[in-house]
Structure formats: C-alpha cells, structure tokens
Chain A
Amino acid sequence: MILAAGDVTDFLSINLTTIIASWLNLLILFLVLKHFLFDKVNKVLEDRKNEVAETYKRADEAEENAKKLEDDYRERLSGAKEESAQIIQAATKKAQQRSDEIIAEAKTEAKGITENARAEIEREKKIAVNKIKDDITDIAFSAAQAVIEKDLTSEDNEKLIAEFIDSVGEA
C-alpha cells in the first residue's frame, strides 16, 4: 500500500520507519538527557555532596582538635597544680631548713656572744680585781706610810704589803 500525505494508516499497522524513528528519537533523547541534564546535575550533586562531606570532616577535625587542646590544657593545668604544690613544698622545706639554719646560727652566735661576754666579764673582773689590788696596794702603802712612820726597807715594805694584800684578797 502506497501512502501519501494526509492518508490515515491502519490502527495496528506495522511501520518500519516509525520503529526506526522511535529508536533514533529515544537515542537522541537519551544523549540529550545524558549530556545536558544528568551529567551536569550529577556533577553539581556530587560537588555538593563532597562539599558537605568536607565541611563535616572539617567540623569533626576542629572538634577533635578542640578536644585535644582541652585535654592538653587540663593535663597541663593539673601538672601545674602538682608542680606548684611541689614548688610550695620545696620552698617550705627550704624555708624550714633555712630558718633552722638561721636559728642554729643565731643560737651559735648567741652562745659565742654570751661566751665572749662572759670572758669579757671575767677579764674585766680580773682587771678590776687587779686594779683594786693595785689601788689597795697604793692605799695600803700610803696608809701604812701614814700609820707607820717608820722607815722600813723597801724589801720589808714590799713583803709586808704583799702579806697585807693577800690577807685582804682572802677576806
């Protein structure tokens, strides 16, 4: 059957041209959709997915970092506390030691000073005693001279005086 423009085909006629044209149309549509829609949109979707994943990854990393930092700080803080306690302890110990030392030194010094003072006192005492002895000697001498207007030999005199002094000293 030869058909011309405007003719109507049968309801269920097989037309090879239509079949092939349908295949070609579908192929063209497939290529059009692939190149102009699916490839482009898929790329955008993929980009967005990657970006979201990237953002999440970054956020996770930041969180992890912050956590690590926090841990670090906490550790350091506790370390510092310990250290400070140690330092305080050490300082206390040192101060104690130092104070002990100082006290000991002071004690020693005080002892030395006391000793010195005592020695001085002893010496002064001795000097004083000697001086008193001399003075007494002089007084006794003059007194004796005055009392005993007698001429004695110097030797006798001295001896007498010494006896006198000794008796005075013993008294």
Chain B
Amino acid sequence: MSDKAFVLGCSAIGAGLAMIAGIGPGIGEGYAVGKTIESIARQPEAQGDCTRTMFIGVAMAESTGIYSFVVALILMFANPFIKRLG
C-alpha cells in the first residue's frame, strides 16, 4: 500500500469521524425547537418572536456541526496531509 493511499484512506475515515459531531447540533436543535413549541403553546401571541429567536439560536447551534462539516470537507477536498507527502 502506498503512502498516498494510506493517507487518503485515513483522511476519509477522519472525515467520517468528524461528522459524528453532527449529533450535538441535532440534539441541541431538537431541544431548542421543543422548548420553542412549549413557549408558543403557552403564549401563542409571542409566536413571531419565539420563532425568530429560535431560528437564530438553531443556526448558532448548527455552527458546531458546520465546523465539523468544514473539517470533513477539508479532509476530503483540500487534504493538507497529501501535500505533506511531497
């Protein structure tokens, strides 16, 4: 097995592992949405505010997932380790 193939394979595994971080935002977003629905049920007149704030919060929570996704993308498409091989 060549060095390059090994590095590429490990990078692919790493990219896959990086995406495990998607669990966190998933749980967080679900929790945020659930709480928002609770508050809307309690105060239906505040639906607009609640929804807007929820979207912002969800997008914020998503950023951790996005970071891991960026890492995965880097490993797949702009692999820095391949360049190190020379």
Contact = CB atoms under 8 A, between A and B. Distances in A.
A12 B77 CA distance: 9
B81 to A, nearest CB: 14
Nearest to B76: A11
Interface of B: 73-74, 77-78
A123 to B, nearest CB: 116
Interface of A: 10-13
A112 B85 CA distance: 157
Contacts of B74: 11-12
Nearest to A10: B78
Contacts of A12: 73-74, 78
Contacts of B73: 11-12
B79 to A, nearest CB: 10
A13 B77 CA distance: 11
Nearest 3 Cβ contacts at the A-B interface:
A11-B78, A11-B77, A12-B78
Contacts of A11: 73-74, 77-78
A134 to B, nearest CB: 131
